Amino acid sequence: MRDNRLDQRSFRQRIRKALIIFSFILLPITFAYISCPIITEGASEGIITGGLMVFFFIFISSLVVGRFWCGYICPAGGLQEIYFQVQNKRVRIGRLNRFKYLIFLAIFVSIVYAIYSAGGLTTIDLLYHTDQGVSIGPQGAYTIFYGPIFFITIFALLAGKRGFCHYFCPIAVIMIIGRKIRNLFQWPALHLSADASGCTDCNRCSNICPMGLDVNSMVRQGTMEHPECILCAACIDTCPKNVIRYAWMKK
């Protein structure tokens, strides 16, 4: 029975990593839907773009599943987890993490101003700045594509595990805001739960966490909610005592 559980855990992480790496492979096709400059350009023309709709969906989903997007779907996360083979040190979580909030604020203000300047959003073009839905079609698309790849690479290699997520990613802030709203109202949502009495302090959960969180301390302190947690279940699947688990209802 124990071996079956371990096999199931390993399978979940293999599926998760396959999904997120495949998402990165698809990025040349899909990046127009998560590109802030393209979304802002569309807003300046009064257009609701596919990217703007994706951002809205990410926010709505975060009200229920937190940063699940980051753990299973995000192409930038997929690239960074590929870099784990080269740079796997735990990222420093401190005041510099607040920089991504400034990035988010700048982008949010620019989008709002673009909408205001256009006199509001008047049309819908979900395939905006794509060639029949494919991002690599328009002229100059590769320039827009390689820029984010460069920044993600620099942060991943210099800052450590998912450095781009911690320090720069504005999409992460969208989900953090959604999660804080959920925590304020405390409706049922996906979260981590832990039984500290069964913890042996093996630290496997902290060592495996792709976000570099000190999960062991979170378990011991009974505070499994963390704004940088992406609910990837890596800590759940590596714990030999089944101390950590997914939960839905609040206690």
Q: What is the pLDDT of residues 70-88, one digit of tens each?
A: 999 999 999 999 999 888 8
Asked whether residue 170 is assigned to any structural domain, the reply reads: yes
Whole-prediction pTM value?
Answer: 0.91
Asked whether residue 229 is assigned to any structural domain, the reply reads: no
Q: What is the mean pLDDT of residues 225-232?
A: 96
Give the pLDDT confidence score for residue 155 in this predicted structure.
Answer: 86
Asked whether residue 208 is assigned to any structural domain, the reply reads: no
Asked whether residue 28 is assigned to any structural domain, the reply reads: yes
- Per the structure, the complete domain to which residue 52 belongs is given by 2-187
Q: How many domains does the chain have?
A: 1
Beta bridge partners of 131: 134
Give the pLDDT confidence score for residue 116 in this predicted structure.
Answer: 97
Q: What is the mean pLDDT of the chain?
A: 91
Asked whether residue 250 is assigned to any structural domain, the reply reads: no
Asked whether residue 66 is assigned to any structural domain, the reply reads: yes
Asked whether residue 25 is assigned to any structural domain, the reply reads: yes
Give the CA dihedral 71, 73, 79, 82, nearest 10 degrees: 60
Assess contact for 79 and 149: CB atoms under 8 A.
yes
Give the pLDDT confidence score for residue 143 in this predicted structure.
Answer: 73
Burial 58-81 (b: 16+ CB within 10 A, else e): beebbbebbbbbbbbbbbbbbbbb
Asked whether residue 41 is assigned to any structural domain, the reply reads: yes
Give the pLDDT confidence score for residue 6 in this predicted structure.
Answer: 56
Q: What is the mean pLDDT of residues 20-30?
A: 93
